[in-house]
Chain A
Amino acid sequence: MTDLPVRLDRVTLTYGQRVIWSDLSLDVAAGAFVAILGPNGSGKTSLLRAILGLVTPSSGRIEVLGHAPRRGDPGIGYVPQRSDFDPDLAFRGRDLVRLGIDGHRWGFGLPHPSVRAQVARALASVEAETYADAPIGQLSGGEQQRLRIAQALVGDPRMLLCDEPLANLDLRYQQTITELIAGWQKRTGGTVLFVTHDVNPVLHLVDQVVFVVNGRWAAGSPDEVLTSERMSALYRSHVDVVRVHGRILVVGESTESGFNLDEPHHVPVAVEPH
């Protein structure tokens, strides 16, 4: 038993014959903001799923909030990768948030004043009251993402797991969503695990970075991990980490396609248009 909200001790995750990553060790301090980075298919989401207790590692030990990972842990709020709702779906943001309170319980779930008040507070905390009663499939991606965060936080978790919460959002909404999460963390002292392909929008918040590439990984503070040496070792090819205007760019050796590193857009690269 430890006070650390998340602790991984030489954990290896495999799907069939395929090793996703091996011997991953990680100590996350309470109240930390952890960015989980790496190209697509490198097992970032799998790391969250292992912490949620949805996949069991083939070896090693995971401890979450002082115990083995278990599905439905009320101490964890989860914002999944964006999924689209049918525009005709008879379902409101208010209903989505309510699921976060008691959606997992059996039975019908009749309306209750205290539950209604709890939903209203969660909606207010993300400023989503104006569209909470519209069909959820007709809302913009940013509006849906706010509702998802309200849903994840409505049960007062101690830890928030977010999977690419900024993907496909415009700059304004990226900032709004980031501020919402940072605000929650400041208020409650909660821990955030944040999967992203671009670290820059959250760089000012990040205490700890986990970078996963091709089964290999590196963890530590951004300054420790996001260096040319560490990244070159991870990618096993020459990689430059450049800091421009307070942003971090990870750039591979130039090939005919310019930025390479297998899948250029998965590298935390941000380029200002000219």
Chain B
Amino acid sequence: MDQVVALLAYDFVQNAIAAGLVIAVVSGIVSRFVVTRNMSFAVHALSELGFTGAAGFILLRLSPVLGLLAGTAVTAIFIGALGVRARGRDVVVGVVMAFGLGLGVLFITLYKGYANQAFAILFGTITGVSRGDVVLLVAIGLVTIAALAFVYRPLTFATVDPEVAEARGVPVGALAVVFLLIMAAAVAEAIQVVGVLLILTLLITPGAAAERLTPRPGVAVAWSVGIAVFCVLGGILLSLATNAPVSVFVTSLSFACYLLARFVVGPRRRQLRAIHSARADEAASAAVASGGSADL
């Protein structure tokens, strides 16, 4: 504990906490939409191709953070252009991902220097970010949050009720591409904390846990953000106390949150379900009693 308090005075720790906070808020909001839109696979692809981008930028001796963002953004545009329609999107994602990851392998092979940076991108590097990176991450984070706030309502409409949204004039197709770009930024950010390989722990788990805690969409976003912040800050502090990598604790904490949400609150939700199926049975028997008809 004393060790942690002492460490909190250091620049690199403060940088990590500042960047981690913004990243957690972005991840919390985005993961709610990722879960509702069923886009886990796209997150995975964006993340791996973020790695390709970072590897390419390292090869060119440019900022790996910008490389991540370039990788995820280009991937988002490719996926958006090749398959905005929901059906077949997974296939497009797979096709783009396989090619992009191959490029990443090439970049790493060509890079003659120390492979440390590549390793950090795979497993997270939040306590290693510089002051300049923090400014960059906070800026990207704030732009992403602003974009999310702007599209929040129509994006929700397009996500849960696309047919009516389209009829009401919501640009459903354009929003799908916009959301891919928002995801690209969120993935590039979250990679800083947990790395490419563990990305889903921040971009799926908080949203999935939140869904189990409330039927209210606004409250679900709040829960999702809260869980993400708890996991990132908790992960950083536990990492300081133990010297084990941040991502180990973030993944454990977020998994614990999910299990708690699912099994502590789960029974209550199941009760609700039982009430409704009872009502459905009642309706069915009422229909039979009134001399129901068969639809040929």
A residues near B (Cβ < 8 Å) are 52, 54, 70-72, 76, 78, 80-81, 83, 85-92, 95-96, 99-100, 102-109, 131, 133-136, 138-140, 142, 151-152, 170-173, 198, 259, 264-265, 269-273
Contacts and interface: CB of A to CB of B under 8 A. Distances in A.
Contact of B284 (A104, A131, A133, A170): A170
Given A80-B167, A133-B215, A102 B294 contact: no
B295 interface: yes
User: Lowest 6 A-B CB distances belong to which pairs?
Assistant: A72-B169, A80-B163, A103-B157, A90-B220, A170-B287, A135-B215
Contacts of B151: 106
Contacts of B210: 90
A88 B217 CA distance: 12
Contacts of B160: 85, 89, 91, 96, 99
27 contacts: A71-B168, A78-B163, A78-B164, A78-B168, A83-B161, A83-B163, A87-B273, A88-B212, A89-B160, A92-B217, A102-B153, A103-B154, A103-B157, A103-B165, A104-B168, A104-B170, A106-B151, A107-B149, A108-B152, A136-B215, A138-B276, A140-B283, A151-B164, A173-B283, A270-B295, A271-B294, A272-B291
B166 A265 contact: no
Nearest to A48: B167
A4 to B, nearest CB: 21
Given A102-B153, A108-B153, 8 more contacts: A72-B169, A99-B161, A104-B169, A106-B151, A138-B273, A140-B276, A170-B284, A170-B287
B153 A52 contact: no
A78 B279 CA distance: 27
A111 to B, nearest CB: 8
Nearest to B284: A170
Contacts of A86: 36
Contacts of A83: 161, 163
Interface in B205-234: 210-212, 214-217, 219-220
Contact of B216 (A92, A100, A109, A151): A92
A107 B150 contact: yes
A264 B294 CA distance: 13
B279 A270 contact: no
B248 to A, nearest CB: 28
A269 B156 contact: no
B296 interface: yes
Contact of B217 (A52, A90, A152): A90
Nearest to B224: A90
A259 B219 CA distance: 53
Contact of A99 (B149, B157, B287, B293): B157
A134 B276 contact: yes
Interface residues of B, number: 46
A71 B166 CA distance: 8
A92 B215 contact: yes
B95 interface: no
Contact of B167 (A52, A90, A136): A52
B256 interface: no
B4 interface: no
B170 A89 contact: no
B280 interface: yes
A109 B153 contact: yes
B286 interface: yes
Interface string B263-281: 0000001001100100110
Contact of B36 (A89, A108, A264): A89
A173 B150 CA distance: 39
Nearest to A78: B167
Considering residues B149, B157, B220, B291, which has the most beta carbons from chain A within 10 angstroms of its beta carbon?
Answer: B157
Interface in B141-178: 149-154, 156-157, 160-161, 163-170
A106 B150 contact: yes
B214 A90 contact: yes
A115 to B, nearest CB: 12
